Amino acid sequence: MRKPMGWTARDIPDLTGRVAVVTGASGGLGLETARVLAGAGARVVLAARDGGKTLDAAQDITAETPGAQVSIVAVDLACLDSVRTAARTLVAAHERIDILVNNAGVMAVPQQRTADGFEMQVGVNHLGHFALTAGLLPALLRAEAARVVSITSTAHHLGRTVGPASVRGTGRYHPWRAYGQAKLANYHFAIGLHRLFRSAGVPAASMLADPGLSPTGLQRTAVRTSGGRSQRFFARLASRTGLTPAQAALPQLRAATDPSARSGEFYANRFIAAGPPVRRPVLRQVGMDRAIARLWAVSEQATGVGLDLAALRAAVPT
């Protein structure tokens, strides 16, 4: 029976022998997630863009947990060539990957484009992770029961289904609307991947997590790059009432490690900005099938990567 205080990092089972990849692990929630996974015995790969910050993060983890197995791989999710290189490096280095936490992201930034010409927020938060997950399929499917965790936000309620125009960033741009759209893409990606795994009958799970509001680098970057009134408001709100990074990382940690969690489930804080991580219902069901199908078509065309039953079956080890 679950103790009254709810699920905490102390409930994570021994992860010795497991391999975990965490994107955006050079700081914020990614670093906290990597720190806890390494402390539980996992071999953790910090996948991030800034090499210096990532090295500092690795040293921070090993200082706290002597003997922790931590390595680094460079990946810039705003560049599909970088994503492909990182995926090849990881598959070559690890026979299997047990946990993939697609944590990295940008939030409410001014209008920008990725190296491949996509709107920055959907490009980094979704397309980069879509391509990375596809590239890691051979290693994920060699694991006994791999888990892929996608990170969404309550801002997904602001989003509309991703289409070709929004991927290219054409039309009128609004930072928070674009962020909501990217987070809705993460939401639909997690559910779509769950359905794909289930249809293929592979031993892998796709989970969804929402960390709530926390004063991390994501907030600071949004203020620094945009300086908008809404960005400053949410940064102040996060600093005054938000969760600590360690608390905010708990939903994705539970999705990644709780033996009782199941594919297709969604974990978030009980009171959005407070409380332990709990299972939440998957909402926005009306039109979801059509939205996921559209997302898949747009994502495969944009990235040049197939993530379908044929790709899954081809990746299953013989």
> Exposed, middle or buried, 271 (CB in 10 Å: 0-12/13-18/19+)?
exposed
Q: Tell me: pLDDT of 232 over 60.
A: no
Q: Tell me: pLDDT of 29 over 90.
A: yes
Which amino acid is residue 159, in one-letter code?
A: G
Q: According to the model, what pLDDT value does residue 242 have?
A: 59
Contact status, residue 48 vs residue 74, Cβ threshold 8 Å: yes
Domains and their CATH numbers in the chain: 14-312 (3.40.50.720)
Tens-digit pLDDT profile for residues 98-121: 999 999 999 999 999 999 999 999
pTM of the model: 0.90
Confidence band for 247, pLDDT divided at 50, 70 and 90: very high
CA-CA distance, 146 to 20, in Å (whole number)? 10
CA-CA distance, 277 to 33, in Å (whole number)? 14
Tens-digit pLDDT profile for residues 164-209: 888 988 888 999 999 999 999 999 999 999 999 999 999 999 999 9
Q: According to the model, what pLDDT value does residue 166 have?
A: 84
Q: According to the model, what pLDDT value does residue 237 have?
A: 44
- Name the E strands within the chain: 19-23, 43-48, 70-74, 99-102, 146-151, 204-210, 266-269, 277-280
Tell me what the mean pLDDT of segment 53-68 comes to.
97
Tell me what the mean pLDDT of segment 26-30 comes to.
96
Indicate which residues carry an active-site annotation: 179
| 270 or 318: which leads in pLDDT | 270
In 3D, which of 32, 43, 54, 172 has the Cα closest to residue 103?
Answer: 32
- How many Å is the Cα radius of gyration of the chain? 18
Confidence band for 216, pLDDT divided at 50, 70 and 90: low
Tens-digit pLDDT profile for residues 151-161: 999 888 777 77
Region of poorest pLDDT, from 120-129, 217-226, 261-270, 272-281? 217-226
